[in-house]
Structure 1
């Protein structure tokens, strides 16, 4: 448990360095009909840029982890796109397959943003992601390399489901493990939609029982989350497991998919 808390503190530092991006998002997203598919790895600064925008647009996406040394999905990227570069987005709604985080971000705003235009602050990322690299180092470079013990283990038959938002420190430690174990999952973004959502689940800025914005994404997601707006929340349809606490989720993933 002490080690887990240290990881949480490192994750908090990562969120601070990232300037709080990946926290807030629209309550009324333009979710595409066919699922977006993102091939990436948690510790990649370039992938993080895309995940931050996915949180801002509050879009759900299928994540196919491609950590360094991984063998499950990296080959698919090479086959479909012609090179091993991450992130790699497949959008079956538009027929696009895209490398380069900046191109992916423009695509997301064009097709799923409110105006069809990329906001100024998301138009010109530095070519060398210095802040992102620092954030990765602060997080002890977790979510970068595959767990070699499970490299030949088959992926779960059904995609796991994770409710999260990018800057959540507790969610990040779960996404780290999912990456290292090469476990594909549906990422349900439930970004904070207004000031009443700010703060951790047990200590939000607005006191009293939590009431989501009527008709917003969080409002619609609550029934799927057992009526409790807290992240991370993991559902594994392969075993029927439903878990909230990050420490319990990490322990479950390691036991179910990490032991050999």
Structure 2
């Protein structure tokens, strides 16, 4: 438990170094008809930029983890795109395949943003992602290397499903574990839509029973989770398992897919 809390603190510092990007998002996303597919790994600072924008736009997408030393999706993406470079976005709605993080960001705002234009804060990232790289180090470089215990295992039949948002420290820990285990999953962004959403599930700025923004995405998410919004939330359709707490999720993933 102590080690898990250390991981939480490291993930929290990692998010703080990026100025809280990947926390807030639109309540009314332009969700693509066909799922966006992102080949990436949690510890990459360039991939992190794209994930932050995905949360800002509150988009759901499929993740195919490509940790260093992994074979499953690194080989697959090379067959599709021709090289191993991350992140790699496949958008079947527009027939687009993109590698460079800045190009991906422009594409996302153009097709799924409200104005079709990339905001200035997202249009000129530095070539060397110093803050994001520092965030990766602060997070203990988790989500970078493959767990060698799973190299000979086939991928699960169905994508796991994870609800969270980029800057959530608890969600970050789970995403790192999914990356290291090369477990593909569908990520459902649950971005903060207004000031009443800020804070942990039990410590929100607005006390009392949680009430989502009417007509917002969180209102739909609440139907999945029950009487409150809490992330991370994992559903494994391969086993029928559904879990909330990050420590319990990691324990389950290791027992089910790495033991």
2:121 corresponds in structure 1 to 121
Cα distance in 1, alignment partners of residues 200 and 184 from structure 2: 27
Structure 1 SS opposite 2:72: coil
Cα distance in 2, alignment partners of residues 205 and 55 from structure 1: 21
- How many residues get paired? 259
1:11-160, aligned counterparts within 5 Å? 11-160=11-160
Structure 1 unaligned regions, length at least 5:
none
Cα distance in 2, alignment partners of residues 114 and 152 from structure 1: 44
State the TM-score, normalizing by the size of structure 1: 0.99
Cα distance in 2, alignment partners of residues 258 and 105 from structure 1: 34
Deviation at 1:203, TM superposition (A): 0.4
Cα distance in 2, alignment partners of residues 123 and 17 from structure 1: 19
Cα distance in 1, alignment partners of residues 228 and 203 from structure 2: 14
1:186-213 deviation digits (Å, cap 9, x = unpaired): 0000100000000000000001110000
2:213 corresponds in structure 1 to 213
Structure 2 SS opposite 1:73: helix
Answering whether residue 175 of structure 2 is matched by residue 175 of structure 1, we say yes
1:186 corresponds in structure 2 to 186
Cα distance in 1, alignment partners of residues 226 and 244 from structure 2: 10
Structure 2 unaligned regions, length at least 5:
none
Cα distance in 1, alignment partners of residues 44 and 257 from structure 2: 23
State the TM-score, normalizing by the size of structure 2: 0.99
Cα distance in 2, alignment partners of residues 158 and 23 from structure 1: 28
2:256 corresponds in structure 1 to 256
Deviation at 1:108, TM superposition (A): 0.2
